[in-house]
Structure 1
Amino acid sequence: MKRNLIQTTFVSVLMAGMGSALADTSLGFGASYQFLTGNNNVNNTGLFVQFDQSGLLVGSRLEAGIQQGNNPGFNLKAAVMAELPAALGLTLKFGAGPEVLRDTRNNSWAVSGYVFASPEFDLALGLSAFAELSYSKVLYAQVPTPDAFGVKAGVRFTF
């Protein structure tokens, strides 16, 4: 019993260490544009910062952004993502997660679910450029808030 516990603990520590050794941590920032669904041709523009932690094929993302336009305010996102190496220097990232939006014009909150797809191209020395397409579906809102299609572009530093 004691031997099995020691073996299990050793394997757990070894696997955790390998996961950390294989993980890449990166910080990205850039600009975004959202097309809000509805009849009024409304949109938002913004700036964002992303913190990605990626392992062998699966990773996570935290994102914070500020925006102006029809729903000015800020948003916070978290996502689980998958990374697929596509070609030399090109990686495709896909993910999904929750989003919280604070609309400062209407003094309200909204909660959405969002999905994204993002090609990323390695430039040099841990620097990469990326674009992103996303869709946010509003799940709860204090005031009527439209769903959104978004595009982003930015750079990422891997350390």
Structure 2
Amino acid sequence: MSSRGLSLSLILFALLTLFSCKKEIDTKDVEVEAIVKDTTSFKMYEMSPLASLMEEMHAKGLFLKAQIEEGKTDFGAWPEKHKEILTAKMTDPSDMDLFFTYQAEEYLRLEKILYENVEGDKKEQFNNLINSCLECHQKKCGGPIPRIKKLLIK
């Protein structure tokens, strides 16, 4: 075989090798990589102390609603922890203004009536309490309004 034939054979062999090694991208690998990138940038939401307190208050509201619907009128001692509504750190500190403070004090006043006043219509007292929540949330943080409305006793 001549050197020209050998050179041509080597070039042909190199070209065949090059084109046969074409790398194919597996779309599954790309999707998995994208998912991994998305989940590694995820940050867990941490509730502010006030949001956490309001979650507890909502749970207490569900309990009170059930008690009132069963005709009960004694709910035990007023939960003093709820006073923290006046001082607990908010998600957005700029929301702690005179309106919020007034609404929080009104909530506590209505809650004490519900717990401590043996006389009166408990359903009405409870709904007044829940309406005070709605009044504040309509001005401040509207997100929980649908959940709060479900607490109202019809």
TM-score, reference length from structure 2: 0.29
Greater fraction of residues in helix: 2
Greater fraction of residues in strand: 1
TM-score, reference length from structure 1: 0.28
